[in-house]
Amino acid sequence: MNLEFADFPPYAKPNSEALIQSRFRAVADLGVLRHALPERFGGYGDDFASLYQTHRRLGEASRDPGLMLMVNAHLWGAVFPILLYGDEQQRQQFLPPLLSGQWLGGHAITEPSCGSDVQAMTSCAERSGEGFILNGKKRYITNVPLADWLVVYAKLEGRITAFLVSRDDSGCTFSREGTLDACQGSSTGSVILENCRLDATRLLGKAGAGAQMIQKALEYERAFVFAGIAGIMEWQLSEVVRHSRERRSGGIHLGHHQAVGHRIADMKLRLDTIDLWLRECARLCDAGQRLTLVSAQTKLYAAEAFLQSSLDAVQIIGAAALEQRSAMANLVQDALAGRLFSGSSEVQKNLIAALLGTGEAYRDSAPSGKP
Ligand SMILES: Cc1cc2nc3c(=O)[nH]c(=O)nc-3n(C[C@H](O)[C@H](O)[C@H](O)COP(=O)(O)OP(=O)(O)OC[C@H]3O[C@@H](n4cnc5c(N)ncnc54)[C@H](O)[C@@H]3O)c2cc1C
């Protein structure tokens, strides 16, 4: 596919791994993976404000939360951690193919026995000569089984540590187990590590620094994962307005019923509020400031707003919104996932309360610097 943004084909079922892969390649060809990244690795050397605008435009055209999740897992799960924590050799090896879309990346934190409580992870790494042996299982990992490389977190000597793991490593399987019914424009699967041997070059960052690396990656992800979804909500709102002007009930257009008009006003307010939060995240990133508090607030607000607006859209359109393969019904399912990925809404509230000096933080999100 060689496309302009406006021509990007909207998400449609049925989907397939081949289609997911070809949509990712088309996104890469549009340069979506190069924003806010240094030119020497193939980036545009521009800012996070440009990244936000690009994701928003892609979301509006593609109407595909799965595709946006795929892009975000790739960027915040793999590209930025390698940029921030990789040594020069790792940056040279990984960043150009990840930015061009030749390789698809992501990150593997969640396990069958732990999601929100990251510190409870049981995947472990042992030293073996100069290298490492990894064992454990990761679940609900975006971009698996299609990913080429993942940043996988496991405990080394009791402390969370990051490793670069390839789909071709012996002792490692990227499997379809645990595929989700939400965000179907992306793939989700499991990573099974059975005596997976890695040489010393696969350690990413310092041994034991994984918890801070997860926090940083999630800060970025929470700040921007809804940029594309804001674009999708723009489309969702325009569809609802169109429907409310075309359909009549009781001799007047639907939108003239105050109950309907108020729902639409609420949808508009939520969308504009999300955009304000997203612009603030981009501004802070471009100013080199910490995002801990604002990214948790953005993710919490946007996730809840996306779900409520998706429910409102179905209610206004009526039964037609629930027809098989309806894009509007899919968005409700995807919005439910939005309250879980990148840390659930409850986890964001814990973090916000902790940053205000009260409440229980989930341990990996405890503030390590200024909010
Ligand atoms: C579409 C999708 C994509 C994903 N992609 C990835 C990925 O790429 N990589 C990855 O590692 N993971 C990924 N995940 C997993 C995601 O990070 C977890 O779903 C999330 O961390 C929550 O964990 P859990 O689902 O195991 O729920 P649990 O942690 O078991 O929580 C269940 C419920 O209890 C609540 N809860 C848990 N602890 C607390 C607490 N301390 N205080 C208050 N409430 C609490 C939660 O909010 C939730 O409502 C993805 C998930 C989804 C849905």
What is the per-residue pLDDT across 144-180, written as a single tens digit (0 to 9) for each?
A: 999 999 999 999 999 999 999 999 999 999 999 999 9
Do 122 and 33 lie in one domain? The reply is no
| pLDDT value at 365 more than 60 | no
Do 258 and 290 lie in one domain? The reply is yes
Do 275 and 176 lie in one domain? The reply is no
User: Over the stretch 179-216, which tens digit does the pLDDT of each residue have?
Assistant: 998 999 999 999 999 999 999 999 999 999 999 999 99
* Host domain of residue 39: 5-100
Atom number in ligand 1 closest to CA 346: 47
Say if residue 287 is exposed, middle or buried (CB neighbours under 10 Å; 0-12, 13-18, 19+): exposed
Atom number in ligand 1 closest to CA 344: 47
Do 76 and 124 lie in one domain? The reply is no
Adjacent-strand bridge partners of 166: 149
AA identity, residue 240: V
- Which has the minimum average pLDDT: 1-5, 41-45, 114-118, 309-313? 1-5
Residue 267 lies in a domain: yes
CATH number of the domain at 126, please. Answer: 2.40.110.10
The whole-number pLDDT of residue 368 equals: 37
What number of other Cβ atoms are within 10 A of residue 244's Cβ? 19
Question: Contact at 8 Å (CB) between 5 and 58?
Answer: yes
CA atoms lying within 13 Å on the CB side of residue 323: 7
- Chain-wide mean pLDDT for the chain? 94
Q: Domain count for the chain, please give it.
A: 3
Ramachandran bin of 305, using left for φ above 0, alpha for ψ from -120 to 50, beta for the remaining angles: alpha
Q: Whole-angstrom Cα distance, residue 71 to residue 143?
A: 9
Ramachandran bin of 370, using left for φ above 0, alpha for ψ from -120 to 50, beta for the remaining angles: beta
Do 72 and 155 lie in one domain? The reply is no
Do 224 and 291 lie in one domain? The reply is yes
* Encoded tokens for 267: 């949808």
Cα angle: 14, vertex 19, 24; to 5 degrees? 130
Ligand 1 atom 38, closest CA: 116
* Ligand 1 centre distance from Cα of residue 269 (Å): 28
Residue 56 lies in a domain: yes
Cα angle: 245, vertex 227, 297; to 5 degrees? 105
The structure tokens 């508009």 sit at: 268
Atom number in ligand 1 closest to CA 114: 26
* Encoded tokens for 61: 């055209």
pLDDT band at 366 (very low <50, low <70, confident <90, very high): very low
Residue 188 lies in a domain: yes
Q: Residues near 64 by Cβ (< 8 Å), separated by ≥ 6? A: 10, 11, 23, 185, 232
Do 42 and 175 lie in one domain? The reply is no
CA 299 to chain centre: 11
AA identity, residue 309: S
Size of the chain, expressed as the number of residues it contains: 371
Atom number in ligand 1 closest to CA 345: 47
Mutate to test the pocket of ligand 1, among 180, 344, 365 (most ligand atoms within 8 A of CB): 344
Ligand 1 binding pocket (C-beta < 6 A) is 73, 106-110, 115-116, 140-142, 180, 182-183, 188, 337, 340-341, 343-344, 346-347, 350, 362
* Ligand 1 centre distance from Cα of residue 345 (Å): 9
Do 295 and 253 lie in one domain? The reply is yes
Ligand 1 atom 48, closest CA: 344
Name the domain boundary from 52, 70, 100: 100
pLDDT band at 95 (very low <50, low <70, confident <90, very high): very high
DSSP output for 164-200: EEETTSTTEEEE-TT--SSSTTS-EEEEEEEEEEE-G
* Ligand 1 centre distance from Cα of residue 45 (Å): 33
Do 203 and 221 lie in one domain? The reply is no
Do 80 and 193 lie in one domain? The reply is no
User: Over the stretch 218-244, which tens digit does the pLDDT of each residue have?
Assistant: 999 999 999 999 999 999 999 999 999
Mutate to test the pocket of ligand 1, among 214, 340, 349 (most ligand atoms within 8 A of CB): 340
pLDDT above 70: percentage of residues in the chain: 96
Backbone torsions φ then ψ of 162, nearest 5 degrees:
-100, 140
pLDDT above 90: percentage of residues in the chain: 91
| pLDDT value at 362 more than 50 | no
Residue 370 lies in a domain: no
Strands (E), 56-119: 107-108
* Encoded tokens for 173: 């399987």
Residue 371 lies in a domain: no
* Ligand 1 centre distance from Cα of residue 44 (Å): 33
Do 281 and 258 lie in one domain? The reply is yes
* Ligand 1 centre distance from Cα of residue 327 (Å): 25
Strands 203-204 and 188-198: unpaired
Catalytic residue set: 221
What number of other Cβ atoms are within 10 A of residue 127's Cβ? 12
pLDDT band at 367 (very low <50, low <70, confident <90, very high): very low
Do 196 and 289 lie in one domain? The reply is no
Ligand 1 atom 25, closest CA: 115
List b or e across 142-156, with b for residues whose CB sees 16 or more CB atoms inside 10 angstroms: bbbbbbbbbbbbbbb
Average pLDDT over residues 328-355: 97
CATH number of the domain at 334, please. Answer: 1.20.140.10
The whole-number pLDDT of residue 360 equals: 54
Q: Whole-angstrom Cα distance, residue 309 to residue 265?
A: 10
Atom number in ligand 1 closest to CA 118: 21
Identify which of 341, 50, 371, 54 has the alpha carbon closest to the alpha carbon of residue 188: 341
CATH number of the domain at 76, please. Answer: 1.10.540.10
Name the domain boundary from 66, 100, 134: 100
Q: Residues near 287 by Cβ (< 8 Å), separated by ≥ 6? A: none
Name the domain boundary from 171, 187, 208: 208
Residue 231 lies in a domain: yes
* Ligand 1 centre distance from Cα of residue 272 (Å): 27
Ligand 1 atom 9, closest CA: 141
Residue 17 lies in a domain: yes
